[in-house]
Amino acid sequence: MSLKLLMGNEAIAYGAAEAGVQVACAYPGTPSSEILETLAALAREKGFYAEWSVNEKAALEVAAGASYAGARALAAMKQVGLNAASDPLMSLAYIGVKGGLVIVVADDPGPHSSQTEQDTRKFAQFAKLPVLDPATPAEAREMVKYAFELSENLLLPVILRPTTRTCHACQDIEFTDGAAPARPLTGFEKNQNWTIFPSLSARKHVWLNQQQEKARELFEKAEFNQLSIDSSNIGIIACGVSYNYVREALQLSGLKASVLKIGTPYPLPRGPVLELFRKAGKILVVEEQEPVVEDQVIALAWQNRLTVPISGKNDRTVPREGELNVDRVRAIIDKFCGREPAGPEAAPAPAPELPARPPVLCAGCPHRASFYIFKDAARGTDAVFTGDIGCYTLGAMAPLAAVDTCLCMGASITIATGLNRVEPDRRQVAFLGDSTFFHSGLTGLINAVYNSANITVVILDNCTTAMTGHQPHPGLKQTAMGPARTSVDIAGLVKACGVEYVRVVDPYDLKAARQAAEEALSRPGPSVVIMKRECATLAKKGRRRTINLKKCLNCSLCIGKLGCPAIRKGSGGPEISAKCFGCGVCAQICPAGAIEAAGQE
């Protein structure tokens, strides 16, 4: 027996390895990224395959293929990634699986790092797939193992939906030493039921609906749903991580209540809910995001002609937006129980005021130079700059202000193309990163070439997937499990798509890069400039710069145009701090030559 301190995402990975996962796939996205990072680290030792796929759709499809051959497979992503994977997801519910297939979708209530606050449990209902919602890292690990068994029992994919606090919380977890038993592969067996013709869909829809009731029956006995009865007439139903908030809030307030913990929100087990109805005079449902459990509880009460009052999101007792915490849940319970909210003396001490820290590109980030170059090259025009999802979204911040739109992964090129159809005399410039180009930008580029859009595409190639933790992608000779035999050359791929003007330049070389930018902006049809320079957080620092105040004109161009966090206003003029990366871009834009390498005469 051993004890390990694991983050929730690590616990999920360990649970999958213990369950005998044989194929694991993911595309990185906060708060889910550490799941595959941990699985990749375990893969060789445990003897399974792990990959960073080019996007979530590919990840799910690779995992589905493995499942068809009888393997236990896992696909991981964040909630927005499920949108990209929704096409195979919906059909997969009808086709079904052979080996256990677990889809881990990490939700981001808040949201802390996402475009949306969407609730994956709604997606599970829509797809008619069972979903599990862990309250702690330890429970997440156990749920993964249960999910594989459930998937094979129902012949359906099963969704595990941790939220940010479960993904990133840490907990001591006990392990029994010993490897997971090897699972023999039965292989793919040819059968017409793997091909989704309309006649099959009509037949399988009946089967899929029947599986809902079978899943519900299994959830009636699942250990993840626990009812604790109290003599109070108050009943609280809590789902996922909200259960922890409810328990702590009750402890702090001194209130008593019967509490039903729900770990299997869809399909909702009816037995424990009906038992709580028999004990409680009124019921509060506490869950993050959408009223998934609450709506099912209301429907169950109506079907059973129960008149117990039910509060939650529908009567606005519980907010439908944002992340919950102990303080918010305590106030909700106080209100539900008719108590005044805890007074100032009971409230926790306010957090100290923190200095303002607006999001900004790192010192030395090559993307800053790329934005500066294209803004400068387009000066005097009314060019539109379409952005994408990644570190480079921060190009929207002042003083660069070089991102006018941002929708979703890979949309910068297609948004630019759409704008160009309406305003053909205006230049559109689409920015996206190297990993995003492989994720879903390539399709947009082919569309732009095929339809002769007059746009310029700027691929910000920093040789990594930086925002989510430097995961590899097909442009690198590196996979999740180690070195790769080859890599995909972005410039060659762009040329193969039919782009006639393709240039690869170093954004630190402002003169050469600006020339490429000007040429690209003046060309008809789609043009592509690849700004290639390693991410500053991975590269070796250069020689630090300093400002010679004897030469400085105090024009503030270095501060007002570039926005590097290493440059600031000082009492005698601009100053360069120890944050300087030594990229030398600021020295190239200084009109007086006042920015010099440190130690220079």
Which CATH number do you get for residue 590? 3.30.70.20
Report pLDDT for 364: 95
**Both 185 and 232 in a single domain?**
no
How many structural domains does the chain have?
A: 4
**Both 188 and 258 in a single domain?**
no
Pick out the residues of the known binding site for [4Fe-4S] cluster: 552, 555, 558, 564, 580, 583, 586, 590
Instruction: Enter the DSSP assignment of 393.
Output: G
**Both 522 and 590 in a single domain?**
no
Answer yes or no: is 353 within a domain. Answer: no
The domain that contains 511 carries what CATH number?
3.40.50.970
Pick out the residues of the known binding site: 552, 555, 558, 564, 580, 583, 586, 590
Sheet holding 226-228, edge to edge: 226-228, 258-262, 234-239, 282-286, 310-311
**Both 159 and 237 in a single domain?**
no
**Both 140 and 252 in a single domain?**
no
- pLDDT band at residue 184 under the 50/70/90 scheme: confident
Answer yes or no: is 349 within a domain. Answer: no
Answer yes or no: is 358 within a domain. Answer: no
Answer yes or no: is 348 within a domain. Answer: no
Secondary-structure breakdown of the chain: helix, strand, coil percentages, each rounded to the nearest 5: 40, 20, 45
Report pLDDT for 345: 47
Asked whether the predicted pLDDT for residue 491 surpasses 80, the reply is yes
Report the C-alpha gap between 439 and 52 in whole angstroms: 11
Report the C-alpha gap between 158 and 227 in whole angstroms: 24
Evaluate the omega torsion of the peptide bond into residue 350 and state whether it is cis, within 30 degrees of 0: no
**Both 195 and 58 in a single domain?**
yes
Evaluate the omega torsion of the peptide bond into residue 267 and state whether it is cis, within 30 degrees of 0: yes
Answer yes or no: is 219 within a domain. Answer: no
Report the C-alpha gap between 36 and 24 in whole angstroms: 7
Report the C-alpha gap between 111 and 107 in whole angstroms: 9
Evaluate the omega torsion of the peptide bond into residue 483 and state whether it is cis, within 30 degrees of 0: no
Asked whether the predicted pLDDT for residue 292 surpasses 60, the reply is yes
Report the C-alpha gap between 324 and 140 in whole angstroms: 19
**Both 62 and 199 in a single domain?**
yes
**Both 434 and 331 in a single domain?**
no
Terminal-to-terminal C-alpha distance of the chain: 64
* Pick from 434, 435, 457, 433: nearest CA to 445: 457
Residues spanned by the domain of 407: 366-478+486-532
Structure tokens at 530: 């690849």
Q: What is the pLDDT of residues 24-58, one digit of tens each?
A: 999 999 999 999 999 999 999 999 999 999 999 99
% the chain with pLDDT above 70: 98
**Both 90 and 126 in a single domain?**
yes
Asked whether the predicted pLDDT for residue 84 surpasses 90, the reply is yes
**Both 379 and 525 in a single domain?**
yes
Answer yes or no: is 352 within a domain. Answer: no
Asked whether the predicted pLDDT for residue 348 surpasses 90, the reply is no
Q: What is the pLDDT of residues 555-573, one digit of tens each?
A: 989 999 999 999 999 888 8
Report pLDDT for 127: 97
Is the pTM value of this prediction over 0.85?
yes
Nearest 10 degrees: Cα torsion 130, 136, 138, 143: 0
**Both 330 and 404 in a single domain?**
no
Asked whether the predicted pLDDT for residue 342 surpasses 70, the reply is no
**Both 19 and 159 in a single domain?**
yes
Q: What is the pLDDT of residues 133-176, one digit of tens each?
A: 999 999 999 999 999 999 999 999 999 999 999 999 999 999 87
Decide which of 319, 338, 357 is a domain's last residue: 338
